Amino acid sequence: MPNFSTADPIAAIYRFCAQSMHYPEAAWFTDDYLKKLDGLLDALGGEEERAALPGACPGGRDWLEDLQVEYTRLFINGVPHTAAPPYGSVYLDKTLRGRYSDEILAFYRSLGYSFHKDGDLPDHIVYQLEFLSFLAEDGNRTGEEEFLRRFFLPWFGMFADRVKGQAHHPFYRIIVTIIDFFTKEEEEHGVQRNEA
Amino acid sequence: MAFNVTRRKFLQTASLAAVALPLSEVIASESGITRSPLEPPGSLTDETVSGGICEMCFWRCQLVGKKRGDRLVKLEGNPKSIDNGTAICARGNAGIQFLYDPDRLKFPLKNVGERGKPVWKKIGWTEALDECGKRLAEIEKKYGPQGIAVFPHGSTAKYPMHFFERTVGTHNVSEASFFQCRGIRDTAYMATIGRAPGEFVDMPNAKVIFLLGSHIGENIHVSHVKQFIQGLQNGAKLVVVDPRYSASAAKSDIWVKIKPGTDTAFLLAIMNYLVTTKKYNAEFIEEYAEGFDKFKEGIKEWSLEKAAKECDIPAAQIKEVAELLAANAPNVSVHPGRHVSWYGNDFQRQRSLACLTALLGAFYVKGGWVPGKNPKIGKTSWVKKEHEGGHNLNENEDGDLKHPFTPPGTPTELIRDAALTGKPYPIKGCVIWGQNPIQTIPDQDKMKKVLQQMDFVLCVDVMPTDATMWADILLPEVSYLERYDLVKAGTQWDFAQKHQQYIAARMPLVAPMFERKDQVFITNEIAKRMGYDKDIPVKTIEELVDKDLEVAGLSLDKLKKEDGIHLMDGKDPYTMPEDFEIILYNEELEDAGFPGVPTYIPVEQPPAGYARLLYGRVPVHTFNRTQNNIWLKNAMPDNPIWLNDELAAKMGLKDGDMVGLVNQVGFKSRTTTTVKTTPGIRKDAIFMAHGYGTANPLMTVAVNAGIDDTSLMTKATVDPETGAHGMRNTFVKFVKDGKVIDIPAAV
């Protein structure tokens, strides 16, 4: 299944984050995926996270089911409640598919992109990260910065806090920490790349 | 968690590409975002979509949806409607919040934990349906079709219910709308006038409206409220018989503050008074009624004084009501009620209401009981197959019915007893479709044991409920705003206006979100996996609706072009059908061992220190179904307990105090709610709104808000003629700060 390609490292990182926020399935949640995640954490100096991963995701079937249960609980329907719905509108409009989701859709379109996932909603974190990946790959740094400032950052912090506070499994705490790392500083410094 | 490098530094390292680009190797190429031509801002279009039919309750008002792009932003009544018109109620408006409720079910879920303490895992539809088909087929093979029990509710549940009942062949179907609501009314009227009465009273044109327990205004069904209000505007007198000063009672000319459980005695006294004073419609009775002499003889003991004592009301008031009814007959709306499963003596009360209507000659006359003449539509569903007999739990060893006047299906209590004892046979599979049997059926503990002993439990719903916590597989259904569905036919709401008929079909106002599916898809896929593919009657829900419309010469395409509602000329509803007759004395009833003449059967009264728990509806909620809706929650966050103000003073309770309840066997409510002190309730009863206090934490707004009245109904009373439940025989005391407080009225 994995066959994405890009020449842009930032685009690759955003897409990797988007991939990581999909429902965990055996088709992509492979040993190879975990190795790549480990490599990224190594480069980021995330020793604590690296140490937590092997115990949490040791390979085999059972742990994948644990992760699926965790995803369901955190992001779909969970006990004691859906801990962290991954839709911006829930945080900003207090409902699914609020005005925010229209505005984000309009923003995608205004920059030359469309959303076409039947049944799902345009403000899901996966599509926001995919959109950032496209903008990075297409060199639209102004758009990337504006999107982060206007759309992504206003809710992501609340979402990340809920995940970090309520996750039973370290995987999603690690992923939101990575997403936080790659999106937060944009607000303060703009896109900083190694132009060399 | 934090990383030992700043983002800026990381992105500036020469090794960035070496670290980041290999990530691509584990990323799928499919994405929800793609490149496309530029679109200018503000290109979202606003439109009005017609064809919706509301299901925030079951009155089914016709809707239009205002959309911005593909987002539904407002619901309104369909201007073409001759039923609700442009009006919808608070719940109807809040349908938007329900549609986009983040707690709604979105994907098939599998319980990998325990029943009752679920651990949910999202699974795909194929896996979910394979599991359902396999497990239900195994149960059918091992225990027979009767080994599967079905608890259905609502318009989407008809199709799967018919599959299990008609095709698979289980008799063990229990609809809450019958056994915990209106079934007794329907079969009592069937035994009296040969017809289920609906709420077909011509209130706009009545001179007197007579409500017994009905609290229109708290129970809001839009066109019914319009009928009620129009009647009052036109000058109708209003009689309300209720232990509580309800919204209806507040508009009444006579409020009969009756002792709970004694309504039949009150009705018998009125009827006896009309007969003995010859103020009944003798001509009408002579022409249409059977068994008058036996009826007259059977009710003669009920003097005004005897009833006054039994009902704890003045004899003069009973006489006043009887005189008012007689003076205005036949233009009297004797309302048959809706939720009537109260005390376990309800069949006789409902028969009495029908007989009273007869004595007044108030059938098929202005202001009386008048069913509209509706257009014909189809009823496409599964064809009934021949099945082996002998599995009807309602039959005794001689083949006689234990509850001969039961509504369709099998009385709930018989199903639960068989499931728990395994006698006469085991029931090991359960399908719960749109019903919440934990919060609709008395004795929750028993229901939980029933579910616990099953081999497999399937729940299909739009929201998590207390019942869905007991599922092995939980399937998400599309809501009424996302699906094609039932066809509704009716007439204009006021028969004084030009006679018209309408046909409307439910059409989606928005596309389904996530992986929610409709009832035809889900049922058919399960049927295929159980080996019934050849019996499938329609391939899609659209085909089903089209077939039903075809009977009326319509189609979905035609209906869409007519803004969702087809109008045609109507017929005069006041014409008496040729076969109409009234059975005042019912021999069949007597042969079955029940009174052939309406009879008052006293019910247990509260012991010292207790009061009877009464419950009802509020205008902003439909039982538990709407509890998680934040708009409606804000309108009424809990269910205050109505307590007589003089009692409250003696008990040291005041408005707003937080209290719990404990019932006669010591069962304590899990949660608390507020006290509302009022002179508007008797001292031997308290009242609260039904449907609050859900236990399912997946309902993040509703969980633990208010008290769940059903949880206190640990004793299930059964109405003997019908097998339906009586749900107002729970006696309670208050609990405040852990201390039990007696209710002094009965001390």
Over residues B6-58, the pLDDT tens digits come to: 777 888 777 888 888 889 999 988 899 999 877 666 666 889 999 899 999 98
Pick the closest to residue B252 from B680, B676, B687 (CA basis).
B680
Q: Which tokens is B662 given?
A: 């404990």
Distant-in-sequence, close-in-space partners of B432: CB < 8 Å, separation ≥ 6? B150, B151, B457, B458, B459, B460, B461, B467, B468, B470, B471
B231-248 per-position pLDDT tens digit: 999 999 999 999 999 999
ipTM of the complex: 0.90
Place of tokens 């608390």: B672
Residues shown for chain A: 196
Q: Would you call A4 an interface residue with chain B, using a CB distance cutoff of 8 Å?
A: yes
CB B470 within 8 A of CB B115: yes
Q: What pLDDT does A195 receive? A: 40
Q: How many CB atoms lie within 10 A of CB B621?
A: 26
Q: How confident is the model at residue A59 (pLDDT cuts 50, 70, 90)?
A: low
pLDDT of B598: 98
Picking from A9, A97, A189, the nearest residue to B8 by CB comes out as A189
Query: Which CATH number describes the domain made up of B611-746?
Result: 2.40.40.20
CB pairs under 8 A between A and B: 231
CB atoms B464 and A77 under 8 Å: yes
Q: Looking at the 3D structure of chain A, how many domains does it have?
A: 1
How close is the nearest chain B Cα to the Cα of A117, in Å? 5
Separation of alpha carbons B7 and A182, rounded Å: 7
Q: B68 to chain A: nearest residue by CA?
A: A102
Q: Decide if B618 contacts B692 (C-beta within 8 A).
A: no
pLDDT of A189 reads 46
At A196 the pLDDT is 36
Strands of B456-461's sheet in order across: B120-122, B109-111, B473-476, B456-461, B429-433, B148-152
Per-residue pLDDT for B674 more than 80?
yes
The tens digit of pLDDT for each residue in B587-620 reads 999 999 999 999 999 999 999 999 999 999 998 8
Structure tokens at A89: 């509108």
Contact by Cβ (8 Å): A36, A16: yes
How much is the pLDDT for B70?
A: 87
Provide the greatest CA pair distance for chain B.
106
Two tokens, residue A92: 């900003």
pTM of the model: 0.90
pLDDT tens for each residue of B513-538: 999 999 999 999 999 999 999 999 99
Token pair in block for residue B158: 């008809």
Q: Please indicate, yes or no, if residue A4 is contained in any of the structural domains.
A: no
CA of A99 vs chain B CAs: smallest distance (Å): 9
Chain A 148-177, residues with CB within 8 Å of chain B CB atoms: 164, 173-174, 177
Q: Is the pLDDT higher at B68 or at A195?
A: B68
Across the interface, which of B35, B69, B630 has its CB nearest the CB of A112? B35
In-domain check, residue A195: no
Please check whether residue A25 lies inside any domain of the structure. Answer: yes
The pLDDT of residue B647 is 96
Q: What is the pLDDT of residue B257?
A: 98
Query: B109-180+377-479+514-539, what's its fold?
Result: Rossmann fold (3.40.50)
Report the percentage of chain B scoring pLDDT > 90.
85
Q: Is residue B60 a contact partner of residue B73, using CB atoms and an 8 Å limit?
A: no
Q: What are the phi and psi torsion angles at B88 (to 5°)?
A: -135, 160
Position B700 scores a pLDDT of 77
Å between B69 CA and nearest CA of chain A: 8
Q: What is the C-alpha R_g of chain B?
A: 28
Mean pLDDT over A129-153 rounds to: 96
Distance of CA B219 to the CA centre of its chain: 11
Give the rounded percent of residues in chain B with a pLDDT score beyond 70: 99
Give, as one character, the DSSP assignment of residue B115: T
Classify residue B679 as exposed, middle or buried by CB count within 10 Å of its CB (0-12, 13-18, 19+).
Answer: exposed
pLDDT(A1) > 70: no
- For B46-99, CATH gives 2.20.25.90
Pairing of strands B582-583, B289-290: parallel
Across the interface, of A46, A95, A114, the residue whose CB is closest to B100 is A95
Neighbours of B333 (CB within 10 A): 29
- Return the CATH number at A95: 1.10.3480.10
Cβ of residue A120 closer than 8 Å to a chain B Cβ? yes
The pLDDT value given to residue A172:
96
CB contact under 8 A, A112 and B36: yes
Domains of chain B: which residue ranges? 46-99, 109-180+377-479+514-539, 199-359, 611-746
Candidate from A45, A101, A192 with C-beta closest to B4: A45
Look at residues A117, A139, A128, A39 and name the one whose alpha carbon lies nearest to residue A89.
Answer: A128
The four Cα atoms B412, B173, B145, B548 give a dihedral, to 10 degrees, of: 180
Give me the residue from B11, B27, B37 closest to A4, CB to CB: B27
Q: What is the DSSP string of chain A?
A: -B----S-HHHHHHHHHHHHTSPP-TTTS-HHHHHHHHHHHHHHT-HHHHHHHHHH--SSSHHHHHHHHHHIIIIIS-SSS----SBHHHHHTSSTT-HHHHHHHHHHHHTTEEE--TTS-TTBHHHHHHHHHHHHHTT-HHHHHHHIIIIIHHHHHHHHHHHHHH-SSHHHHHHHHHHHHHHHHHHHH-------
Q: Chain B, 680-719: which have a CB under 8 Å from a chain A CB?
A: 697-698, 700, 703
Sequence-distant (≥ 6) Cβ neighbours of residue B565 within 8 angstroms: B50, B62, B78, B80, B81, B502, B503, B504, B559
Q: Is residue A30 part of a domain?
A: yes
Are the C-beta atoms of A23 and B122 separated by less than 8 Å? yes
Residues 597-636 of B with CB under 8 A from A: 630
Q: How far apart are CA B149 and CA B454, in angstroms?
A: 10
**Which of B9, B12, B24, B72 to probe by mutation at the A interface, max A CB count within 10 Å?**
B24
Q: Name chain B contacts of A131, Cβ cutoff 8 Å.
A: 33
CATH class (in words) of the domain with range B199-359: alpha beta
Q: What are the beta bridge partners of residue B643?
A: B677
Examine the pLDDT at B747 and tell me if it is beyond 60. no
Q: Would you tell me how many other CB atoms lie within 10 Å of the CB of residue B48? A: 14
For B:65-124, CB contacts with A below 8 A are 68-69, 71, 97, 99-103, 105-107, 109, 112, 118-122
Structure tokens at B414: 């018989």
Tell whether A1 is covered by a domain.
no
CB-nearest to A85 from B102, B109, B515 is: B102
What confidence score (pLDDT) does residue A190 get?
Answer: 42
Q: How many other β-carbons are positioned within 10 Å of the β-carbon of residue A62? A: 9
Determine contact: A33 vs chain B, CB below 8 A: yes
Task: Confirm if B61 and B86 have CB atoms less than 8 A apart.
Answer: no
CA triple A3-A6-A8, angle to 5 deg? 150
Q: Which of A73, A78, A193 sits opposite B11 (nearest CB)?
A: A193
b/e for B683-716, b at 16 or more Cβ within 10 A?
bbbbbbbbbbbbbbbbbbbbbbbbbbbbbbbbbb
Residue A178: pLDDT above 70? yes
Which residue segment(s) compose the domain that A175 sits in?
9-189
Residue A60 banded pLDDT, cuts 50, 70, 90: low
State whether residue A19 sits within 8 Å of chain B by CB: yes
Note whether B393 and B419 are within 8 A (CB).
no
Q: Taking residues B128-132, what's their average pLDDT?
A: 98
Does the CB of B521 have a partner CB in chain A at under 8 Å?
A: no
Round to whole Å and give the CA distance between B330 and B574: 13
Residue from B463, B561, B433 nearest B505 by CA: B561
Query: Considering only CB atoms, which chain A residues are within 8 Å of B71?
Result: 97, 101-102
Identify the CA nearest to A50 among candidates A34, A33, A66: A34
CA distances A14 to A11, A90, A116, A163, B278, Å, are 5, 22, 19, 19, 88
Distance of CA B91 to the CA centre of its chain: 15
C-alpha–C-alpha distance, residues B233 and B235, integer Å: 5
Contact partners, residue B178, CB within 8 Å, separation at least 6: B186, B407, B408, B409, B724
In a domain, residue A2? The reply is: no
**What's chain B's average pLDDT?**
94
- The pLDDT tens digits for B187-202 are 999 999 999 999 999 9
Whether the per-residue pLDDT at A194 is higher than 70: the answer is: no
C-alpha–C-alpha distance, residues B430 and B147, integer Å = 9
Is B389 in CB contact (< 8 Å) with chain A? Answer: no
> Is the Cβ of B383 closer than 8 Å to some Cβ of chain A?
no
Q: For residue B463, what is the nearest residue in chain A, using CA coordinates?
A: A77
A192 touches chain B (CB under 8 A): yes
Q: What's the pLDDT tens digit per position in B341-384?
A: 999 999 999 999 999 999 999 999 999 999 999 999 999 999 99
Residues 6+ apart with CB under 8 A from B543: none
Question: Which of B4, B6, B26 has the most A C-beta neighbours within 10 Å, making it the best mutation to test the interface with A?
Answer: B26
Cβ A119–B515 below 8 Å, yes or no?
yes
